[in-house]
Chains A and B, each alone.
Chain A
Amino acid sequence: MEAFTTHTGRAVPLRRSNVDTDQIIPAHWLKKVTRDGFEDGLFEAWRKDENFILNRPERQGATVLVAGPDFGTGSSREHAVWALQNYGFKAVISSRFADIFRGNSLKNGLLTVVLEQKIVEALQELTENDPQAEITVDLQTREVRAEGVTASFELDENSRWRLLNGLDDISITLQNEADIATYEAKRPSHKPQTLKV
């Protein structure tokens, strides 16, 4: 996973609540068997409208998505995270994220930042009025900074450590191989098995 320390970039304010993962990346894109090449599928249906904010020339190259509440609801598809990253987003700010989407984002180095709705709205207003306005998402200080806005955000220390160092979960878990083997040895015999091995 790519490490995340701090990022500064222009923003796309997306004033929609309940943006589900079917909107982020429609199902027909999920037939691909790679982790890349999803950028053209990002918000595919909405991008057919030339006035959709992602299509505006002044938003090209923006890297921070400032979204409405309940972002990433629905399907567990990690493709939603890959699509945002493939497109160029480094961070998403919202007042609430769906649990599975949030978990997926943090495992891929896409920082999902939870801020109070009124701060999210302040950031949306700022970047709507000034498309050149930049937002800094600083994981080291756990702070979001923009003109007139300084807000701290929470992220548990373990997730933060993994992100700052770009650590791979599987390698960390396999350091506890002995614990896994001990647990396996005492599992009851009535537990289901798919195969006799």
Chain B
Amino acid sequence: MKIKHLLALLLLGLSVKLYAQKTHINGLIKENTTGLPLPGATVQVKGTPITSVSDKNGLFRMYAEPGQTLEIKFLGFVTQDIIAPGDEALFEIYMKEDTRILSEIVVTGALGIQRAAKEIGGGTQVVSNEYLNQGKTINPLTGLASKVAGLRINMYDSKVDPQIQIVIRGTRSLNRSENAPIYVVDGVPVPDISRLNPNDIESITVLKGANAAALYGSEGVNGALMITTKTGSRGTERIQFSNTTTFSKAFLLPKAQKEFGQGQNGIYDPIQSESWGPRFDGSLRDFGRLLPDGTQPQLLYAAPSEDNRLGIFQTGVNIQNDLSFSGGDESSTYFVSIQDVSIKGILPGDESQRTGARFNGSKKFGKLKTSYNINYIRFKKDMAPDGPWLAAYTSPANIDYSSLKDWLDPNSIANPNLYFTDQVKNPFFLLDNNRQSNKQQTLNGKIELEYEITPWFSALYRLGMYSSFDESQNRSGKFEAAGRRNVVGSVTDINDNFQRLNGDFILNFNKQIGRFSTSLILGQNFRSDNRKTVTVGASNLLLPDLFNPASRIGELSSGSGSSLTEYRSLAVYGEFTTGYNDYLFLTLTGRKDWVSVLAPSNRSYFYPGVSTSFVFNDAIPALKDSRVLTFGKIFASWNKTGNVTLQPYSLNNAYSQSNGFPFGNTVGFSPGSAYPNPSIQPEFVTSFEIGTQLSLFDNRLHFEGSYVYSDSEGQIFNATTSRATGYSTAIVNAGRLTNNIIELSINADVLHTKDQKLNLGLNYSHIKNQVKELYEGTSYNIFRQSYANVGQAYPSLMVSDYKRDPEGRIVINPSTGYPVLADAETHLGSMVPPFQLGFSSFYQYKSVSIGAQFDSRWGGWLYSEIIPRQYTAGTHPNTVAYDRQPFIYPNSSIELEDGRFVENRDVFSPGDKAFWDFEGKVQSNTAVQSDFFKLRELNLTFNLPPSLLSGQKIIKTASLSLIGTNLFIIRHKDNDHGDPEYLYNSTDGYVSFRQVPPYRTYGFNINVGF
């Protein structure tokens, strides 16, 4: 949606009323959740010395001009601004608790039930809207990165719809794609939140342990992100508009040599794409073949001063426009928001757009409380599939990409028919000709009915629906030419519809018995997921620009068909909490699940949990009212969670047709490559946690520390098997993984005066992950160089390496000069950095503030599949280390017949392409340590002071921010491969040429409140 549309809406929704006379204001201040009067709150007419204080009934009376701003303050509550009304009628104000004060923090616990933090016997952390949106990220998950101890967030790549991997407290499953937490939006579990408008989020409570999320059952095994969206406040009507515009620039491309150019064997060749030619000499040389008009394109054969590869990329532009309205009255509240996000990617032609609207409301009918929300998101994207930038990694350094853009020109070297080589294609042609487009509509909502049967007993029914309608088209334009220049036009249309229904019926009992508080929750849950995917494709299109399978030549492509997937589950659960004197709490949980994906004899399973917390500063008289220790809690928990990560229909081997089948009436079905196991059982994760939360010096310093142990057994995963078994993988119930975790976080209000604030925060986690057992043997391959090895962290990087003599010298084969390879692969280390540190700083001076978020991870390794390709193509820097001449391999030796090793002094290694190609295949040359330290977010905000806004009545608040992400990064000295955070195919520490290279963004945000 464009800005002008938003403005139109804005005008529709507004009417300006003007008042001039001073009147008496009669106000009643109430507490938001209980509705009880709040005595002792101060009310001040902003910008004036006029103040008043609410009496014991919460009432106040004062003089003010209608339209003036009244500021209401009360310790422990969020300060509120309201507009003075135009008459003397009683005016109600609802004050909200300030959750920043730890002892009173309310967290959103399982099932969306608000719980006092002090009761909770597990690690939780709340990230507020402001902190989440510091970098104005488009995907709310990105905004969480490095802000929560034990939470790890990785980007996949830099496309216009980047995927995110999120893992809380280490890997629990050997199944790579089953380590994500459950996402719960306003109490309803949803499969995805990446398209949620981050500005709609009031807060995200991260429930780190399976214990906190126990009532969500299996899906809660990896922790939960409890997202609370904004609601309106009674008595305050607000309109907010904000615009964020940022620019993205590609950086951190894999390093390449700039000394030798195109050719083979040291000889220049104008049609070669590889860099095995002579040394750059500054001459002008033929580039490609003669053009039809008889001209011979030429290129300066010299090392460019800049990285020419960046010429493929452009400056991306990200624009977000947000508009929200909120308000409420005695019995109802509402929150409406509209957001439009448009992204122009760093690859020319790539773009996406997301338009979303949310309506949250609540209404009370006597004892029945209802709340409901609906969220509609329309997302579309159009982008290039993997490939265009790969050509640049393997092409000569002197290619000037700016001259290759106009590929339609029939007389240009950019034309695919005339491109200088036919081993790779013009990246700009690939960008234009191969497209993936997608339109997605997500409709997501819930309705919740809560009836208070007696003051201590209520019943709640919550029904959530999540549905997405996805239409995708992958296309490749027909281009008639010979050989590799030819493109047979193809198109695939995919319709994917997904619906989830999730219902919970919950009985909630609360009773105070003497000094004991008790609460009991009994619940029942059903879940039903339905998916239908229809794919229709054609691999030989009639016309270059008509992308419809109907206008094809020959038959539909082999993938055409449809697929239905159904998943269902039922559960019953209960939770019992008792508290003694409001300082000692004990919680017991239990849940039994039934799932559709297992054989009927295995499909139900039960799992229990227990947790306790002790608020010792309340319990120990000497600590009560201490000025040093304002809050102190220790907690511990134990629980076991069952989990089934199996996809539907995995108990049998399904057959499909390939290799051209069916040929007319001749069918040919062949089995899948995964060995099925019909007797798969649920897997179980047992975890134990102990920790403390302290608040010191009037809540100026917070500390939280915990130790967590988790043990996952009998895992369900697709283990890679020897291909001699006939299968490439086997579904097994095997393997045991443990995690030993230490998490620390410190947050300090270093400065807190009227004009200045300085807040520093630090979170640290060390996750010691270890594979304890595997199904068979001591090692399982997971994906390419990624392994699970008994006794090592998962996933482990194993690479082929040189044979080394006892002194560590590389052994050279004296007859060829090539290094000898070691018999077995070498283990380098964990592909996930076990150490993680997040550091935040926020400084405010009057109306100017600066916030910075730093992220550091270390102790891991990464593998890049780009590097071997660069070796082969001669673009890797190592290939020029010896001027492409024969050389004596440094620190090498020769093995004598008697088994002794002597220093290699005279066997030369050939410095030619075959040799370096071999070197590129030695995988230890392709791995580096993945340590990094980066400035993830920087935000500089200027709030317009009230004095500047006092001349008018329309704008109440306004601010301007400058923001940037990934502004700098320090990597391990050996790492010239890319951003260590990026991952591929759910495999940590694996860098692929399929990823669009990393980018950084910088821009501004304007925020106006009406």
Q: Do A and B bind each other?
A: no
Residue numbers of B with Cβ under 8 A of A are: none
